[in-house]
Chains A and B, each alone.
Chain A
Amino acid sequence: MRRVLDKLELTARNREEYEERRFYTIGLVLSVVLTVMSFMSVMTDYLPVTWVFPALVILALGQILVHIRIFLHIDLSRQKREDLLMLLFTILLLGIMAFGTIWVVGDMNMRMMQGH
């Protein structure tokens, strides 16, 4: 009986390992696809020039989400709630500071150009 149980647990662990390896592999494939698309959008002429930057932003955000979900294991479960909240709060702070910096310094640049 004991041996049967141990064996069952072993297969359960094997399956868990298989699932986890599959999960990481999906992450790798998605990252490679998104990265290749980013490089292609710049190195080829498929995309109109005006669309390149928005495409880069979207592809980068997509890949960052893939990394956060798959490699950093952040999800919506209760166990990861604190990690997720801290990530969101950091993004809020960063949004205020980064947007503020770009706004203020950008405005200053504009005003200093007026003399020219």
Chain B
Amino acid sequence: MSDTATTNENLHPGMNLGYSGDAEHAEVTVFGFWTFLMSDLVTFGIVFAIFATMKDATAGGPGPAEVTNLTSIAMQTALLLGSSFAFSWASLSMKYHDIIWRTLGWLAIAATSALGFLMLELYDFYHMIKEGAVPQRSGFLSALWALVGLHGLHVAGGLLWMAAMTGQILKFGLTDQIKSRITRMGLYWHFLDLVWVGIFSMVYLAGVA
């Protein structure tokens, strides 16, 4: 028992695999997932760079001040940070308590917050369309829709992933494989929150400043 406790200290956080046999494999898959995240970071970074070159290309159409609803952005920021935090609580429940419902409860909170985030984002998009701030209106708007939309699609994909993980937990319980998958999902989820920090600061706040 104490042996596993000491070896577990060297593992990726959020994991309690119970024996060291599978630990190395889990490390490798987490590293592989980290590779994917970094390639995703390159994608986001390039779209950010394009946005930076396009930020003044409004072509007489709606500019940053017209398309930004700061109250909505603040609420979205709070919801996504809350979701990220709830997910870390789900990971800790999974690591320290083998109670399925506790983990599932925090996952549900994380998913509900993220759903709220997406609803507000879609509401903002709806308003932009109504005001004629559509992607084809100007270079600025194309870049804005591409960047915010890309992030939104990632969040929507994360929600599907969460639903799939909920189903897997209900069917298989908190097995080592499921724990490893949830650890990777956690990395993805916190990474999306990190990208959002860039979006709300550099796109929305810097846009209206």
Contact = CB atoms under 8 A, between A and B. Distances in A.
B190 to A, nearest CB: 4
B53 A56 contact: no
A35 B81 contact: yes
B85 A64 contact: no
B46 A38 contact: no
B193 A71 contact: yes
A56 B92 CA distance: 32
Contacts of A17: 92, 95-96
Nearest to B40: A90
Given A28-B81, A90-B38, A90-B42, A72 B187 contact: yes
Interface string B156-169: 00000000000000
Contacts of A20: 13, 92, 95
A5 interface: yes
A106 B52 CA distance: 9
Interface residues of A, number: 50
A26 to B, nearest CB: 12
Contacts, number: 120
Contacts of A38: 200-201, 205
B46 A98 contact: yes
B46 A67 contact: no
Contacts of A39: 70, 74, 205
Interface string A27-52: 01001100100110111000001001
B92 A31 contact: no
Contacts of A79: 10
A5 B49 contact: no
B132 interface: no
11 contacts: A38-B200, A39-B74, A53-B209, A56-B202, A59-B201, A60-B202, A71-B194, A82-B31, A101-B50, A102-B53, A106-B53
